[in-house]
Amino acid sequence: DAGVTQSPTHLIKTRGQQVTLRCSPKSGHDTVSWYQQALGQGPQFIFQYYEEEERQRGNFPDRFSGHQFPNYSSELNVNALLLGDSALYLCASSSDSYGYTFGSGTRLTVV
Amino acid sequence: AQSVTQLDSQVPVFEEAPVELRCNYSSSVSVYLFWYVQYPNQGLQLLLKYLSGSTLVESINGFEAEFNKSQTSFHLRKPSVHISDTAEYFCAVSRLNDYKLSFGAGTTVTVRA
């Protein structure tokens, strides 16, 4: 059983560009959350999607947006990239409030 | 809002020695508590979780954590570590009926022979 799959694994973008990260949840999971993990820090909650709607959002600017598709997969979009957006972006899927499974992440470098 | 404090940023330990990673949280409501492990260049893996019931929870690889409500702590312990336990460990909390995990800054455990 595949767990959470994220793509791409690594990405390099230039300041001001836009990026889209993708996540396929674990089989049986209908909820997808996104986290940003800066170097040397714990993950920070960006937002969660359930039933194709953003259910909860963390303290991130509107440059961060997302989408969930009918098959429960999800995308994270970041516009107008800043150097400070360089981080590991983690996707987590769940079917309840306490059974989160994390993917291996996408390492985004903004230059 | 809840917050999580991991009291040690780095813990060096010799192989077969015991280790304790300290975690304190603050929350005005009941919470779920978690420990995650992150190996280099990988995502997070759940070690163990406390939802309710017995305050002592165990993982399959020898770790255990005890929920102490009065001290708002959820310290992680292992009586004898292996080289393969070298990793970063994160404590996290989630409020009941909330949808996000709030993580501590992490504790880097380095096991030496």
B95 touches chain A (CB under 8 A): no
CB A47 within 8 A of CB A106: no
Looking at residue B72, its pLDDT comes to 92
- Name the residue type at position B70: S
Q: What mean pLDDT is predicted for residues B23-49? A: 90
CB contact under 8 A, B100 and A45: yes
Q: Side-chain half-sphere of A55: how many Cα atoms within 13 Å?
A: 16
Min Cα distance B7 → chain A (Å) is 13
Residue with tokens 């989408």: A67
The reply to whether B96 touches chain A by the CB within 8 Å rule is: yes
- Residue with the larger pLDDT of the pair A25 and B70: A25
The pLDDT value recorded for residue B9 is 95
- Taking a contact as any Cβ pair under 8 Å apart, which residues of chain A between 35 and 54 contact chain B? 35, 40-45, 48, 50
Q: Can you read off the two tokens belonging to residue A25? A: 């949840």
Q: One digit per residue, pLDDT tens: chain A, 111 residues?
A: 579 999 999 999 999 999 999 999 999 999 999 999 999 899 999 999 999 999 999 999 999 999 999 999 999 999 999 999 999 999 999 987 677 999 999 999 999
Predicted pLDDT at B98: 80
Instruction: Give CA–CA dist A52/A86, Å, rounded.
Output: 27
Interval B23-34: pLDDT, tens = 999 987 888 999
Average pLDDT, chain B: 92
Q: List the single residue in A with minimal CA-CA distance to B105.
A: A42
Instruction: Round to whole Å and give the CA distance between B29 and A91.
Output: 26
- β-pair partners for B37: B45, B89
Residues of A in contact with B40 (CB under 8 A): none
